[in-house]
A and B are shown apart, each in its own frame.
Chain A
Amino acid sequence: DQQVKQNSPSLSVQEGRISILNCDYTNSMFDYFLWYKKYPAEGPTFLISISSIKDKNEDGRFTVFLNKSAKHLSLHIVPSQPGDSAVYFCAARKGWGGSQGNLIFGKGTKLSVKP
């Protein structure tokens, strides 16, 4: 049972336009969400996060939106740049309980930004 779903395996966007990456989750106990960016043959790097008590968090060109009622979050990149081309992973955390803050990841979405 996949608790964090990224239903689009790939996305292609023109440079300068907006990239929107989507993520859905099933567990209402998730209280913190993160986006990671991964280049080929490298470890993922943290990009941006949002707490469940908020509905929006912005950091430069990156904005994450959280819709708790729909159990949906999205990452907006504006404007998109060729260097943004990577695989983006959505992750969720289920509190600080027995699993000590373990993150559950989606399968990732490969973003290609074309010049």
Chain B
Amino acid sequence: SQTIHQWPATLVQPVGSPLSLECTVEGTSNPNLYWYRQAAGRGLQLLFYSVGIGQISSEVPQNLSASRPQDRQFILSSKKLLLSDSGFYLCAWRPGQGVNTIYFGEGSWLTVV
């Protein structure tokens, strides 16, 4: 069966520090991968998606970047965190074709102080 993991689960970082959140999917190949953020009062906002290795699409302009160095690995990064980057970050995946549902990881709480 397929599983998705993301880490760390909780992170407290000072303003201006770098960020790296990692996500891996197991039990599937060539998935579509997503990074979402849940900020207070704003629901689930799509940040990045990827349909293959090295292919990243950004949905909103921001202080963050994403990379997909391997088929089942998706990384969310920042060089310098802002206070507004605080939130609950969710990695998600979907089989490449024919499946409508996306499946979420456990989430990572980021607090920028």
Q: List chain A positions with a Cβ less than 8 A from chain B.
A: 6, 32, 34, 36, 41-46, 49, 89, 91, 93, 99-108
Contacts and interface: CB of A to CB of B under 8 A. Distances in A.
Contact of B51 (A46, A100, A106): A100
B102 A103 contact: yes
A4 to B, nearest CB: 8
16 contacts: A36-B104, A41-B88, A41-B107, A43-B104, A43-B107, A46-B101, A49-B100, A89-B43, A89-B44, A91-B44, A102-B46, A102-B59, A103-B46, A105-B36, A105-B46, A108-B44
Given A101-B94, A107-B43, A46 B49 contact: no
Nearest to A4: B43
A26 to B, nearest CB: 15
A34 B100 CA distance: 9
Contacts of A89: 43-44
B100 A42 contact: no
A49 B41 CA distance: 24
Contacts of A36: 104
Given A44-B44, A102-B49, A102-B59, A34 B107 contact: no
Interface majority SS (helix, strand, loop, mixed), chain B: strand
Most buried by B among A32, A46, A103: A103
Contact of A101 (B43, B57, B100): B100
A42 B101 CA distance: 18
Contacts of B42: 107
Interface in B7-35: 32, 34
Contacts of B49: 99-100, 102
5 closest Cβ contacts across the A-B interface?
A: A43-B104, A107-B43, A105-B44, A43-B107, A105-B43
Contacts of B100: 32, 34, 49, 93, 101
B106 interface: yes
B34 A102 contact: yes
